[in-house]
Structure 1
Amino acid sequence: MKSIYEFLKNLKDEKRLKECELLIVNDDKQAQIAKDIVSYLGFSPFVLSDFRANFGDDLLSFSEEIQDITKALNGFYTYKKQNKILISPIRTISYAMPKAKCFDNYEIAFADTINLEELKSKLYNWGYYFVDIVTSEAEVSIRGDILDICPLGHEFGYRISFFDDEVESIRKFDIEDQKSFKEEIESISISPAFLALDEETFEGINEQVQSVESDTFVKDIHSLGFWYLNDLGEYLPQNMNSFITQEALSELEEVYVFEEKRLNKDKFLATPQIYNSKIYQEIAPANIKEFISFHKDKKVNIISSSEAKVKAFDLELSDTNINYIFESYILNLIGDDEIIISLNKEIKTRRKKRVKLVLDELQENDFVVHEKHGIGQYKGIEPVTVMGAKRDFVIVMYAGDDKLLIPVENIDLIDRYVADGSSYATVDKLGKGSFAKLKDKVKDKLFAIANDIIKIAAARELINGVKINTDKKALLDFQKDAGFDYTKDQSKAVRDIFTDLSSGRVMDRLLSGDVGFGKTEVAMNALLAVILDDKQALFVCPTTLLATQHFHGMQKRFEQYGFPMAKLDGKTTSKEKSNIKKGLESGEIKLVVGTHSLLGVKTNDLALVVIDEEHKFGVKQKEKLKALREDVHIFSMSATPIPRTLNLALSKLKGMSALLTPPSERLGVRSYVKEYSDKLIKEIILREKRRGGQLFYVHNNIASIEAKKGDIEEIIPNIKVEVIHSKIKPAQAEKIIDGFENKEFDILLATSIVESGLHLPNANSIIIDGADRFGIADLHQLRGRVGRSDKEGFCYYVVEDKKQITNDAVKRLVALESNSYLGSGTALAHQDLEIRGGGNIIGEAQSGHIKQIGYGLYLKMLEEALASLSGETKEENKTVDIKLAISAYLSDEYITEDRVRLELYRRLSKCHDKDEVYAIEEEMEDRFGKPDLPTKQFLELIMIKILSLSKKIKTISSYEMNITFVKDDDSKETIKSPSKDDDDIIATTLKYLRK
């Protein structure tokens, strides 16, 4: 920081700063510092991303960096003023960058006349992805006379409505829920998503990419185009006045491990260097006011993003000795004649929002569960004409080729079938009543489980808990000593726990959060609070390996507090066990980390039990832990998300917290989809070995796993491989994992048994064999095994033959590779994980009942059982059979994408009141334009359904002009419509129902 500041300041003082066109730095971090300095000195910085790809890599997994480079270069070349500087990490600038002629901006303004076909062609050639729904940058969607687009660098999308070829309105919309803002805007500027190419140039690059020999899964301009710019590219350090930092030069050797197509190394050595400064020093004053008072003879510059921040630091805005600069950058330096202090904190990288709309991903032939008829196979939605009127029906096939037609307004009666991650199911027989009997059996079982849960919770409510003083400075200091800032979720979870511990009631709280999101850090706050109050705590894990990992981590964090702690597991010797148990009984030992070995221990003053990976413990084991002392506080942690419905049901009985935000230092996992070859496997393994790492190799077939080990050893003769799967004895498996953690071998060849629970920071590459045979949730989980330290993780989804796999599998794999399928793929993975988590929480994950009726229905029934036993009355889910001779459906001309129509059918079928329908209708008009007649009539049909249910009507039918209503008590009433036209039938029905 100090050397860059001094160098650029001198250039500025000598009025030569415009000589510096390109500043070459070490990495992203140094680029951010340089950006702040350039801004402070009154120049405009444009920063290139740290691009760590090797020539020829598939760039789908680098799409974020490519977009950032496009964004920065477009800004730099289209910025008309002279005071601009391009800042680049050395890895990025060692490659040829697109020339200035590759960039442009396209303006669209209100009332412009635009040829939509020409605009489509331009956006395609500029690198935009055409999608059903715009959920992230560089995407565009065209539906009739509505165009949605999210240009690079924009947090919101823009919805442009056309009237014929004239721009009628431009409004922003939220990509989370697709709703547009009411205010119209005058114009928008669209920059290229890749490069501003004309059709001929775009096709030329695409043709060349197609002819290249590459193991890239999908060869197109997005995956390989950047490597084949030819005369459109230039090496910028040769063409611009450049300067380089010493740190960047010291990186040269690492950058040039792979030399292909990079700028000659000597060019960087010849670039003028920025030498380390001796005049300026970096500072981090604890008390800013006091620090300034020691340096009254120097010029004082304070940088702050707001006036409120200045007041918060007890500084006076009226102080004429201080020069206030209201900006958001960070700079903290002291020199011979000036001080620069920033009151701003580092802003964490903006993470992509999770899209709220979960698109319905029901595929043809998926298994579904109908509440009354059981498990069948979904065969899609088909239009059926009855009595001259067209309606859409969901087709579900049952045993013996029996077909069930469900009106789309009742699509909420079916749910995707999921059980233990397996999608295979046995279909039921229609009309046999066997499913109803099965449901009754499950209901009895569930009432017993729900009863146990409620009894335990009620009994604990009556007990006074151990009251812990959580208002201590030492606890705040502990959080500051973590070495990182807590996420908002972590801070909230800690507050929740402290409230519970100090309330005088017994705590029973569950914390869910993805692996690596900082659950253990939250738990350590609870442990410390209890121990500082001179009480005891136990930390229980499902495996010896996890116990060892946690024990070492806690020893480091708790070292300064000097209290005795121990580890008790299967590896502890008899003598050690005896001493630990004595220490616990006498109260001398304050904290023990261990496995099931802790289940029967006696303690002196136990106040807290923390259960890690609580879904791995059975109900009986958890009750044993609670029985250690009746007033003990229980804090459980689980890496599996909790389904929303179950969360609501259980939250009445126990405290719930969730960590949904990843820590800022966690890097994403770079994912690739590849076709299998020995050469590829060898390159992946050697690349990870070169950086001193280890690998997971997932081969999900126990029968052929030993043969796979032989294949790997043949490809790389000196490699050390160990095999692990469910048939290996637990003690042996633990030994293997220990060996892997101690770096005794290079590759852990495993079935999907490694999917959760392991934290092995040195294993940062994973190869998943036969990736097309895994569900998206499993692939998402397996990818989470790597990239768990500050090292970048690499995940390779490998398929045997890409010509043999289904289009659907290709779509899902490429989605995982480019991380851009936020609206469906990731959300679906979360849904699957949630469904799995629901079973685990109640300790019944292996129950055959779940397999018979599917998790979705199982959880719904558990929620009903809990509600019923808690004294809440939940109405049975009733339906109304509507047999009106009207054409009512979501027209495929109005909404062309099948999955979007299916999602809207699902949402409309779940509406319970008219306001929900109006809200969706408003959203549809916003997204797709004014509804056509059949769509409008379908919305009215949903309104008829809602009103009928409130009036206890079970059937509505029409014949000619007669409309008949049948109530739940079988009483009938028939009324007449003015004609048999659709609009008259609908109007008459609604009038009757609204009486």
Structure 2
Amino acid sequence: MQHLFEFFKSKNECQLLVVNDDKQAIVGRDIVAFSGLQPFVLADFRANFGDDLLSFSEELQHITKVLGEYYNYKKQNKVLIAPLRTISFALPKEQCFDSFTIEFAQTLDIETFKSKLFNWGYYFVDIVTSEGEVSVRGDIIDICPLGNSFGYRISLFDDEVESIRQFDIEDQKSNKEEIESFTINPAFLALNEEHFEKINDEIQKVQTDAFIQDIHSLGFWYLDDLGEYLPQRLNTYITYEALDELEEAYIFDAKRVHKEKFLTLPKVPKSRNYEVVSPANIQEFITFHEGKKLTIISASEAKIKAHDFDLANKNIKYVLEDYIINLVSDDEVILSLNKEHKKRRKKRVKLVLDELQVGDYVVHEEYGIGQFKGIEPVVVMGAKRDFVIVMYANEDKLLLPVENIDVIDRYVADGSSYAMLDKLGKGSFAKLKSKVKERLFAIANDIIQLAAARELVNGIQMDTNSETLKQFALSAGFEYTKDQNRSVKEIFDDLSSGRVMDRLLSGDVGFGKTEVAMNAILACFVNGYQSLFICPTTLLATQHFHSMQKRFAPLGLKMAKLDGKSSTKEKNEIKKGLEQGVYDLVVGTHSLLGVKTNNLALVIIDEEHKFGVKQKEKLKALREDVHIFSMSATPIPRTLNLALSKLKGMSSLLTPPSERLGVRTYVKEYSEQLIKEIILREKRRGGQLFYVHNNIASIEAKKADLESILPNIKIEIIHSQIKPADAEKIIDAFSEGQFDILLATSIVESGLHLPQANTIVIDGADRFGIADLHQLRGRVGRGNKEGFCYFVVEDKKRITQDAIKRLVALESNSYLGSGTALAHQDLEIRGGGNIIGEAQSGHIKQIGYGLYLKMLEDALASLSGENKTTHKTVDIKLAISAYISSDYITQDRVRLELYRRLSKAVNKEEVYTIEEEMEDRFGKPDIPTKQFIELILIKIYALQKEIKTISSYEMNITFTKEDDTKQTIKSPSKDDDDIIATTLQFLRK
């Protein structure tokens, strides 16, 4: 930092600054801007020539956006800041950065417009959920240009732009205010037809392992005369740190500026006058440097006042910016009050498109598990309606009217189990349901009784306001996420309330659950109490013990580890020490279940679902007023969360820590050369690999294959048929780096935290569901090293288009239409199953997680004295054509999603909201669609009036109530609109 500061302070003429990585680029940006120049920062692009670029789509989009801004900025005071690896490649020339404006009332030739966007690298999708995507739906166009966190919705009247509004990517709703115009920049490059074709032809000739050979995957490598090496044209300086990076950057150096070029560039000289400082107490530091010229940098005036500075003080120069510069020299002090820059997190799409594929299993509340065969139009009594087709055992079919689609749900069990089709006919499934219901009432009863018994006991009350606790959070070495701060506050409120705490914290591995738990342990220590931390495996116990030792060492807290690896002598000593109060904290496994303690206040259970009810009871029996804090790595569904939160405290961590790197994902076709390269690349950086092969029968053969590719490699196998004790030994050995590859079934998808393993290969990736792929990918990239995930398929010609789309979209990190949100939904449902414990998996397999949890919520609610209304349906047999027409909405999956949302609506306000949204997104509904919306209103009113059937014949409309009484009314004619109006008029009375 000090070198760059002095360099720019002395007004050196520099147009391009070469740094080593993202972090240094940010430092450079702050200093360049502070010096009154305009910085443009390129992303750190760490691909090698020929790599599949879908995995680098975020960096490439960023480079496109910034270069576009750089070339469009016409003043001379600009500096381009680029990491070494980025600037070593030829970057697109100025002519590749055109843009055009869409204005109100202009005429738009839709075909020319689409063709231009295609050449400019836009993805055409069903729903626009991220930058660089466009969706054309008749006379409505949605587009999200690069650098935007919202989209633009254009409504056309014929070929004239009738309105332009911004819309929210999360929920797809547009703002009411119209805008005059907006600018569209390229999503890849502003290529004309000729250049696009030329690059495309070049790509098709190449021998590559890219899964799909197109401009998005490989275009950047074949710019030819459209590209240039900027260090050869701009006045360039390089930092010493970037020179240190040279060797590493040039391992694969095809198609780059030659390394020597960088060695000959002028260096940013070392500073003679400035030093970097990081004062703990700013006011004290300033007093120490009195008499020097003082500059204070802050993003806001409020921060300046909070640090007791007087804005009226003329001796201090205030700079209101978000720069982070902390330097001191003989005559000057520059201090920043700002915290580290946070990366902008991507918005998560709330609107989940149901990826219900034909052939997927679904659960019907009354008939059980069937197979979804699609939505088909059926003509009944001369009128057209859409029906969901579900296939049951013996090829029996169920036709379900789409307005009642809410009675089926996707079948989710654990990844390894296959669904068995039920027989159509209520008998068998009803019996199974009542068996599960009995079992669930027993579980719900246990949960409620436990909660009630603990309510009657006074908890150990603690003071959670001590300075030590405040300092502990500050000494973490990183800033807590918003969720972590909230969870710590919730725990402290519990501990100081005088009630017994029973709280569950859910959050993905690496999201900082242990850090939250340490705050609770410290609160107990400060108040003179002991804590126990219990994990299901020795590996986890060892991991937690080491990370806690680091944090607690300076505070004088005495801790020990007790697990299966401890010798009998150690066990006896630790147990004795616990009883006598020598230890403040013991971390361990099941070995802790029967210990005696001196002054225990807190028991923390990690991976709570891995412990049985009896084991948890044993822990609670250690002392009746002991606080219980459980942690789980899977999210809990919102509804179950509500049901349980009346009995338990619930906290969740949903935001990853800022320093966590993403996982670079590739989709590849299997080849021995590829596997060899993947393994050697990870070995070169001193890491280990997971290799997922989800077939126990052929896993030994797979091991032999891998050993024949690389004879010196060390491989161990793990799957569900290996004894738990042996599996634990293997994982321990892997954690200690004793072998290179852990070859496993999808058993590795949860509960392991092995920061040394940062590459995962998933064999036969097309045979996994989105949730499983998402979860498996999360095994790597947990530390501060970048993770690599390879989805490998046997033969790309033989897999379905949908599977290709799913995999390729996961590769560019966002699923076209929110698959990650869907994966979260799946994981949430499983997380709910986890809370109840693994002993229930038999029942879950029989009826699926979704229905199982719904039934558990009902059981909890009814035992807590709440009235849960039973789910009723109305059989509507009106001779009207009512369906969401494919002319109005062409994409089946979007129609399916709207059918689902409308069928779940419980009042007319919800229906009108969805109708308004449909009009906003797709234009005015056509007649069959409008009539379907009215059909949903008929269903809602009928449910409120306890009507079970509505049917029509000619002009007669008959209503049958729950008690089988009937009433018939007459419509003025048998036209659809008359029958609907008459029915609604009767029901609204």
Give the aligned residue type for 1:8: F
1:105 aligned onto 2:99 = yes
The equivalent of 2:767 in structure 1 is 773
Q: Give CA-to-partner distance per residue, 1:577-599, whole Å, 9 cap, x none.
A: 11111111122222111111111
The equivalent of 1:601 in structure 2 is 595
The equivalent of 2:554 in structure 1 is 560
CA distance in 2, matches of 1:766, 1:250: 29
Q: CA deviation at 1:553?
A: 1.3
Give the aligned residue type for 1:5: F
The equivalent of 2:629 in structure 1 is 635
CA distance in 2, matches of 1:727, 1:401: 34
Give the aligned residue type for 2:738: E
CA distance in 2, matches of 1:140, 1:708: 43
Instruction: Mark the CA change 1:844 to 1:251 in structure 2 (over 3 Å): closer, same or farther.
Output: closer
SS at match of 1:700: coil
For residues 36-47 of structure 1, the aligned pairs below 5 Å read 36-47=30-41
For residues 219-230 of structure 1, the aligned pairs below 5 Å read 219-230=213-224
Tell whether the 8 Å contact from 1:395 to 1:406 is kept in structure 2 after alignment. Answer: yes
Q: CA deviation at 1:337?
A: 3.8
CA distance in 1, matches of 2:834, 2:324: 46
CA distance in 2, matches of 1:293, 1:527: 38
CA distance in 2, matches of 1:872, 1:749: 49
Tell whether the 8 Å contact from 2:145 to 2:151 is kept in structure 1 after alignment. Answer: yes
CA distance in 1, matches of 2:417, 2:805: 19
1:368 aligned onto 2:362 = yes
1:835 aligned onto 2:829 = yes
Q: Give CA-to-partner distance per residue, 1:539-573, whole Å, 9 cap, x none.
A: 00000111111111111111112232111111111
1:482 aligned to which of 463, 476, 482: 476
For residues 168-179 of structure 1, the aligned pairs below 5 Å read 168-179=162-173
Give the aligned residue type for 2:399: L
Give the aligned residue type for 2:637: P
Tell whether the 8 Å contact from 1:243 to 1:272 is kept in structure 2 after alignment. Answer: yes
The equivalent of 2:529 in structure 1 is 535
Tell whether the 8 Å contact from 1:545 to 1:734 is kept in structure 2 after alignment. Answer: yes
Give the aligned residue type for 1:414: I
CA distance in 1, matches of 2:268, 2:430: 78
For residues 121-520 of structure 1, the aligned pairs below 5 Å read 121-295=115-289, 297-422=291-416, 424-520=418-514
CA distance in 2, matches of 1:749, 1:923: 48
CA distance in 1, matches of 2:426, 2:149: 54
CA distance in 2, matches of 1:298, 1:113: 63
Q: Give CA-to-partner distance per residue, 1:442-501, whole Å, 9 cap, x none.
A: 111111111111000110111111112111110111111111111000111100001111
CA distance in 2, matches of 1:655, 1:570: 31
CA distance in 1, matches of 2:521, 2:666: 41
Tell whether the 8 Å contact from 2:663 to 2:781 is kept in structure 1 after alignment. Answer: yes
The equivalent of 2:910 in structure 1 is 916
Tell whether the 8 Å contact from 2:814 to 2:820 is kept in structure 1 after alignment. Answer: no
2:970 aligned to which of 969, 976, 979: 976
Tell whether the 8 Å contact from 1:128 to 1:193 is kept in structure 2 after alignment. Answer: yes
SS at match of 1:767: strand
CA distance in 2, matches of 1:228, 1:140: 25
Tell whether the 8 Å contact from 2:18 to 2:237 is kept in structure 1 after alignment. Answer: yes
Give the aligned residue type for 2:769: G
Give the aligned residue type for 2:749: E
SS at match of 2:232: helix
Tell whether the 8 Å contact from 1:583 to 1:589 is kept in structure 2 after alignment. Answer: yes
SS at match of 1:941: helix
Q: CA deviation at 1:299?
A: 3.2
Tell whether the 8 Å contact from 1:417 to 1:856 is kept in structure 2 after alignment. Answer: yes
Q: Give CA-to-partner distance per residue, 1:24-65, whole Å, 9 cap, x none.
A: 111111111111111112221111100111111111010001
Give the aligned residue type for 1:390: K
Q: CA deviation at 1:897?
A: 0.6
- Aligned-pair identity in percent equals 76
CA distance in 2, matches of 1:244, 1:940: 68
Q: CA deviation at 1:252?
A: 0.9
The equivalent of 1:525 in structure 2 is 519
The equivalent of 2:28 in structure 1 is 34
* More deviation, 528-537/296-305: 296-305
Tell whether the 8 Å contact from 2:934 to 2:980 is kept in structure 1 after alignment. Answer: yes
Q: Give CA-to-partner distance per residue, 1:347-372, whole Å, 9 cap, x none.
A: 31011111100111111111111111
The equivalent of 1:735 in structure 2 is 729
Tell whether the 8 Å contact from 1:354 to 1:822 is kept in structure 2 after alignment. Answer: no
Q: Name the Cα RMSD after superposition.
A: 1.4
1:51 aligned to which of 36, 45, 48: 45
Q: Give CA-to-partner distance per residue, 1:706-735, whole Å, 9 cap, x none.
A: 222222222112222222222323332222
SS at match of 1:966: strand
SS at match of 2:950: strand
Tell whether the 8 Å contact from 2:129 to 2:818 is kept in structure 1 after alignment. Answer: no
CA distance in 2, matches of 1:751, 1:434: 34
CA distance in 1, matches of 2:942, 2:929: 20
Q: CA deviation at 1:381?
A: 0.7
Q: CA deviation at 1:513?
A: 0.4
CA distance in 1, matches of 2:99, 2:737: 52
The equivalent of 2:610 in structure 1 is 616
1:698 aligned to which of 650, 670, 692: 692
2:716 aligned to which of 712, 718, 722: 722
Q: CA deviation at 1:251?
A: 1.1
2:670 aligned to which of 666, 669, 676: 676
Give the aligned residue type for 1:397: M
Q: Give CA-to-partner distance per residue, 1:86-142, whole Å, 9 cap, x none.
A: 110011101111111111111111111111111111111000000000000111101
CA distance in 2, matches of 1:341, 1:595: 48
CA distance in 2, matches of 1:182, 1:80: 35
* More deviation, 800-809/674-683: 800-809
Give the aligned residue type for 1:940: E
The equivalent of 1:14 in structure 2 is none
Give the aligned residue type for 1:97: L
Tell whether the 8 Å contact from 1:697 to 1:750 is kept in structure 2 after alignment. Answer: yes
The equivalent of 2:859 in structure 1 is 865
Q: Give CA-to-partner distance per residue, 1:652-673, whole Å, 9 cap, x none.
A: 1100000000011110111111
Q: CA deviation at 1:940?
A: 0.9
CA distance in 1, matches of 2:349, 2:114: 25
Tell whether the 8 Å contact from 2:575 to 2:596 is kept in structure 1 after alignment. Answer: yes
Q: Give CA-to-partner distance per residue, 1:899-958, whole Å, 9 cap, x none.
A: 000000000000011110111011111100111111111111111111111111111111
CA distance in 1, matches of 2:294, 2:975: 81
CA distance in 2, matches of 1:403, 1:324: 74
CA distance in 1, matches of 2:764, 2:777: 14
Q: CA deviation at 1:291?
A: 3.9
The equivalent of 2:63 in structure 1 is 69
Instruction: Mark the CA change 1:770 to 1:334 in structure 2 (over 3 Å): closer, same or farther.
Output: same
* More deviation, 570-579/713-722: 713-722
For residues 803-818 of structure 1, the aligned pairs below 5 Å read 803-818=797-812
SS at match of 2:968: strand
CA distance in 2, matches of 1:690, 1:297: 53
Q: CA deviation at 1:822?
A: 6.2
1:952 aligned onto 2:946 = yes
Instruction: Mark the CA change 1:748 to 1:847 in structure 2 (over 3 Å): closer, same or farther.
Output: closer
1:4 aligned onto 2:40 = no
Q: CA deviation at 1:333?
A: 2.1
- For structure 2, the 5+ residue unaligned runs are none
Give the aligned residue type for 1:202: F
